[in-house]
Amino acid sequence: MYVPKNIKISQYLEDKAINSLHSSNHPLSQPEDEQPILQIWGRASLEGEVRISGAKNSALAIMAGVLLCSDECRLQNVPILVDVTRMEQILEALGVKLNRQGNILDVDASNIGKSQAPYDLVSQMRASFFVIGPLLTRLGVASVPLPGGCAIGARPVDLHVRGLQAMGADVCIEHGMVHACVRGRRSRLQGAKIYLDYPSVGATETLMMAATLAEGETIIENAAQEPEVEDLANFCRAMGAQISGAGTNTILISGVDRLHETDYSIIPDRIEAGTFLVAGAITDSEISLYPVIPEHLAPVIAKLQEIGTQIVTDAPNRLRVVPGALRATDIETLPYPGFPTDMQAQFMALLAIAEGNSVISETVFENRLRHVAELNRMGADIRVKGNHAIVKGVPRLLGAPVMATDLRASAALVLAGLAAEGKTIVQGLHHLDRGYDNLEGKLSQLGAKLRRVTPQTQTSAKSSPIGQPNSQLSVCTSQLSPHQ
């Protein structure tokens, strides 16, 4: 058994015990025939306004960031999601005290008892790997399981590791575990100039967090410019970190000795907002969204306008979709400010019923076109060639049973179901619950006809009115995420 230096064997064994403790929380531990499904009766018009939740990808990074601070922090506008619950479980396993009241999360990371993140949780959610940066810079040692590949691609962590090594960490990867430690100089990372081969969101976040408590200045070049990176930087700055340039491709961090308490509100989720903009366009409905930061949605808004939908800014934080006849267009996913890969599947559902031929090129992840087969089951005409999908617009989609293959694919299938004739049944909802805060509740409120049922509750669920949240819904949701 390899146990990294600075970690006691008793602690190592205890962490292994935590791993097995958490294994029952995996949504797939639920028998397949008991997993909930979403029934959608398509072609209902939507109207009204929808409230956009806090950004999942900001929340997850910022929750890792609380490990940097030995004072208490309050996070506001935290979305209610399975991924957030998992991150809470990881923080708890490391010794962080948490208190959640709705969208407010109070965090006390004054006593981090462990430097090793539990395998079963990290393996379920890639974002949990981001704890490596804060743990290492605060404790001088961190062990985090390799997150492994996932449905959308291999997703290595080489850029995170190389950056930490440039800052003086010794890193070894053994038995699926990344062990990192800092020797000498009071176990403190050293500032460094780091050029990222690719503007990885996660690597930028890991290294920016690590640099906040390092000795000296760190420059991250070719950094990711996503709004969630900027949000994390703003959170760190609110705790006293010295960071400039976040949101551009060069970030400068001057390490400080310690960070202090803060009360921070997470930005609205641009991908959830984009999904609702597409919901308006695909159902030919006028709906409003708030709060949003329109500039974060610039590439999405530009494409919707090209496709024939108008997006009106009614107030600085409010957008309205005014639908129109849908026309084909081409899309290439790119790092921000390019078109987001996290909106690719939803736009494919929309372009499936637009007039003409579109080409969608996925350049960020190598395996993110698996929803094509499911959309084709609904009557779409899409062919995949390499990382391109050639979409021939069809006049209508037809409801069908479909299987979600990843988080954004599940949203695309729900959108397709809203536009389709007849009934669509979406399976694989554990993907949806990872990243959408009450999507079906929000859609119901707008007038969509849909409901969630588990097979054994299906008979009684049939008696509740379509489109109304019912008691079955909360039963299913709590089964999926015991800590919510």
The one segment of 157-165, 185-193, 311-319, 416-424 that binds ligand EPU by CB under 6 A: 157-165
Nearer to ligand EPU, 270 or 320 (CB): 270
**What gap in Å lies between CA 174 and CA 224, rounded to an integer?**
28
To the nearest 10°, the Cα dihedral for 193, 194, 195, 200? -150
The one segment of 87-95, 174-182, 197-205, 369-377 that binds ligand EPU by CB under 6 A: 197-205
The one segment of 40-48, 194-202, 207-215, 423-431 that binds ligand EPU by CB under 6 A: 194-202
Q: How many helices (H) and strands (E) does the chain have?
A: 17, 23
Nearer to ligand EPU, 342 or 440 (CB): 342
Footprint (CB under 6 A) of ligand EPU, residues 44-63: 56-57, 60
Tokens of 158: 């080489």
- Nearest approach in angstroms of CB 455 to ligand EPU is 27
Determine the residue type at 39.
Q
CB 445 within 8 A of CB 48: yes
Alpha helix (H) residue ranges in 66-108? 82-93
Nearer to ligand EPU, 246 or 364 (CB): 364
Residue 81 binds ligand EPU, judged by CB under 6 A: no
Q: What is the H or E stretch that residue 21 is in? A: helix 9-22
Residue nearest to ligand EPU (CB): 202
- Nearest approach in angstroms of CB 156 to ligand EPU is 4
Whole-angstrom CA distances from 92 to 88, 109, 112 are 6, 9, 9
In the beta sheet, which residues pair with residue 312? 320
Instruction: State the catalytic residue, choosing from 69, 150, 172, 476.
Output: 150
- Nearest approach in angstroms of CB 432 to ligand EPU is 11
**What gap in Å lies between CA 210 and CA 462, rounded to an integer?**
52
Footprint (CB under 6 A) of ligand EPU, residues 425-454: 435
Residue 198 binds ligand EPU, judged by CB under 6 A: yes
Residue 159 binds ligand EPU, judged by CB under 6 A: yes
- Nearest approach in angstroms of CB 206 to ligand EPU is 9
**What gap in Å lies between CA 119 and CA 202, rounded to an integer?**
19
Is there a catalytic annotation at residue 150?
A: yes
Give 3-state DSSP helix, strand, coil % of the chain, rounded to 5: 40, 25, 35
**What gap in Å lies between CA 162 and CA 169, rounded to an integer?**
9
Quick one: which of 200, 283, 424, 477 contacts ligand EPU (CB under 6 A)?
200
Quick one: which of 188, 296, 303, 408 contacts ligand EPU (CB under 6 A)?
408
Q: How many CB atoms lie within 10 A of CB 369?
A: 24
CB 81 within 8 A of CB 434: yes
Q: What is the DSSP string of 316-369?
A: TTEEEEE----B---EEB-STTSB-GGGHHHHHHHHTTSBSEEEEE--S-TT--
Binding mask 223-242 for ligand EPU (x = CB under 6 A): -x-x-x--------------
Nearer to ligand EPU, 156 or 482 (CB): 156
Quick one: which of 95, 153, 308, 324 contacts ligand EPU (CB under 6 A)?
153
Count of residues near ligand EPU by CB under 6 A: 28
- Nearest approach in angstroms of CB 309 to ligand EPU is 23
Residue 208 binds ligand EPU, judged by CB under 6 A: no
Interface with ligand EPU (CB under 6 A): 56-57, 60, 126-127, 153-160, 198, 200-203, 224, 226, 228, 341-342, 364-365, 407-408, 435
Active site residues: 150
